[in-house]
Chains A and B, each alone.
Chain A
Amino acid sequence: MKGKKDNIVLIGGSAGSLLLITEILENLPARLDYALCIIIHRSSTFSSEIEKSLSIKLNRPVIAITDKTPIKNGIIYFAPPGYHILIDPPGTFALDSSEHVNYAKPSIDVLFESCAQIYGQYCTAFLLSGANADGARGLKAIEEFGGKTFIQNPSDALIETMPISGIQESRLSTILKNQDIIRYFSDNLQLS
């Protein structure tokens, strides 16, 4: 089980989430006291383009997860297309190419559920815009293991299906407008 020094923040999104994610990343403080892992549904045809262009744009390392990538504070990770992402104790990413979950690979549920069990209260997750119900069960698991969950306000989301599913499935999630989500990251609010 993870200690206080090992916080992880997860952002899950699908269609309509990339713009907000880019804005979050552009407003991040220079120093992060947590690992940030972003998981979005995307086609495997354009595998590594996002990481490369973001890394240049943000002038900081943005890492595409590969087999057994260690999880470190201060680093931004992206889930690669075509694989589910899980977390192996004590703290490395593990890849899995099994069946799609919620028509998705990577599935947000798979990562969230795995992370919930390893990180417990030190896991924080955001669920953003998307056109299916992936991520909702994962939010519930994070809550049950003591973590914190946030959902993009459906009225702010380009596609509201995913946030609404998240709200229906989880009980304790905080619902945030876009500017509050960005401020949460830029002001390091998870540490308070």
Chain B
Amino acid sequence: MVGLKKSEFISFSDLDEVVYLLKNISEFDLTGYSKSSLKRRIERFLSMEKMDLVDLKSAILNIDGFENYFIQELMVNVTEMFRDPQFFRQLKAKTFPYLQTYPQLRIWSAGCATGEEAYSLAILLKENNLLNRSFIYGTDVSLKALDFARKGVYPLAKIKSYTDNFNKAGLASEFSSHYTAMYDAAIINNEYRNKILFSTHNLVSDHVFNEFQLILCRNVMIYFDKELQEHVLQLFYESLALFGFLCLGSKESLYGHAIKDRFKVIDSNLNIYQKVK
């Protein structure tokens, strides 16, 4: 190891210490998180809060409720409406004909952050006459993100890129028919908000809470190491009805995981899978 070290970087052993402290005093266990990404988030937090590592450890140990704030800032909440428009096209083309045969649909948007994916899905379901028989659960570890999601209010500045995505996703309606714009914000129509329950769930430590026909978990598992990925995939497998669908992010896949034998590949580019045994 070279002696010159920039003060803004923390070492991997520093990272391990923070993770260990947090695990001991709270319900948050970040052991299985991808090390480099988590380390960078902590460095970002320290720089934003103008704290050093000693301050951080002392805050974790001594300030009541600090760990909740810290965790919320570490989690990546970047998402979009109709992110990867091609995914929504294929989701509709390849899973809806099957999902239509169910009288009731339960859907889980796992790691939903600020809710954009759950609302996108609700809009897609509505347009295919499936919303009235559907219920969507949006879950995340970040209480702050969930509060934001429940409101269903997004800055107008983002609506332009969401509209671009929407138009590429191949829906027949106008995106603007699904929200009301006021001042500098857009509020998603009530009928969608009433079909989604946003609630806290930690993929690391919480268990199966319902049975689903469709689970979306996109760009969440990239933050987990292989071992934690196995654990989470097992949780999804157990949460899926037989012949239910699992959708992962565009760079994530079941490849390399033993559980892939229990799934059929529906779309190998967009990582849509169906539980078949």
Contacts and interface: CB of A to CB of B under 8 A. Distances in A.
Interface string B199-229: 0000000000000000000010111011000
B251 interface: yes
Interface residues of B, number: 27
Given A94-B37, A98-B76, A67 B4 contact: no
Interface in B1-28: 1-2, 4-6, 9, 12
Contact of A87 (B9, B36, B41, B223): B36
A97 B219 contact: yes
Chain B facing A: main interface SS: loop
Interface in A37-92: 47, 65-68, 80, 82-83, 86-89
B36 A88 contact: yes
B78 interface: yes
A85 B5 CA distance: 21
Which of A67, A80, A82 has the most chain B CB atoms inside 10 A of its CB? A67
Contacts, number: 75
Contact of A80 (B12, B41, B226, B251): B251
Contact of B2 (A80, A82, A121): A121
A24 B111 CA distance: 41
A98 B41 contact: yes
Contact of B222 (A67, A144, A145): A67
A120 B222 contact: no
B266 to A, nearest CB: 18
A19 to B, nearest CB: 27
Interface of B: 1-2, 4-6, 9, 12, 34-37, 40-41, 76, 78, 219, 221-223, 225-226, 249-253, 256
